[in-house]
């Protein structure tokens, strides 16, 4: 898996207490990480998310801002309004105007609701394809919880 796990120190001792072995920890951690990555990649690639970003970007363009993605807002703020990390009243005013446009567009395109629907659909799809693997990890976790609560 490529995951480097420290086998010394208090964190390592705690992992052994909880997971019984570093292999168990690595197996669970790697599985969770791989599912998170697959879900995130699938969300960004989904037609529903792409349409949502397109709608939000068009709304922002109509408001005078050329921003492709919600994830680009913070970079725009720092690069455009606060070059060299120099804060100014003018920068604050521009940032507040951008934030107002962003909030308006989030509302107008139902960003939060639609993003929630995309996430829910993608999570269900990804998790349904991993049912057997999830069952195996669940059995391991339940066994570890049982052992941990007995001792």
pLDDT band at 61 (very low <50, low <70, confident <90, very high): very high
pLDDT band at 2 (very low <50, low <70, confident <90, very high): low
Its pTM stands at 0.76
Residue 117: other Cβ atoms inside 10 A: 14
Please check the confidence at residue 1 and state whether its pLDDT lies above 60. Answer: no
> What are the tens digits of pLDDT across the range 25-58?
889 999 999 999 999 999 999 999 999 999 999 9
């Amino acid at each position: 898996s490529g995951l480097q796990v420290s086998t010394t120190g208090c964190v390592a001792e705690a992992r052994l207490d909880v997971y019984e072995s570093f292999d168990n920890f690595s197996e669970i951690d790697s599985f969770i990480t791989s599912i998170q990555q697959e879900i995130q990649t699938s969300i960004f690639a989904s037609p529903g998310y792409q349409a949502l970003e397109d709608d939000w970007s068009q709304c922002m363009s109509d408001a005078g801002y050329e921003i492709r993605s919600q994830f680009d807002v913070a970079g725009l703020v720092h690069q455009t309004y606060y070059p060299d990390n120099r804060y100014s009243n003018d920068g604050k005013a521009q940032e507040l105007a951008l934030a107002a446009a962003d909030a308006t567009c989030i509302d107008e395109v139902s960003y939060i609701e639609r993003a929630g629907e995309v996430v829910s659909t993608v999570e269900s799809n990804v998790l349904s394809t991993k049912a057997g693997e999830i069952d195996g990890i669940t059995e391991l976790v339940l066994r570890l919880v049982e052992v941990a609560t007995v001792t």
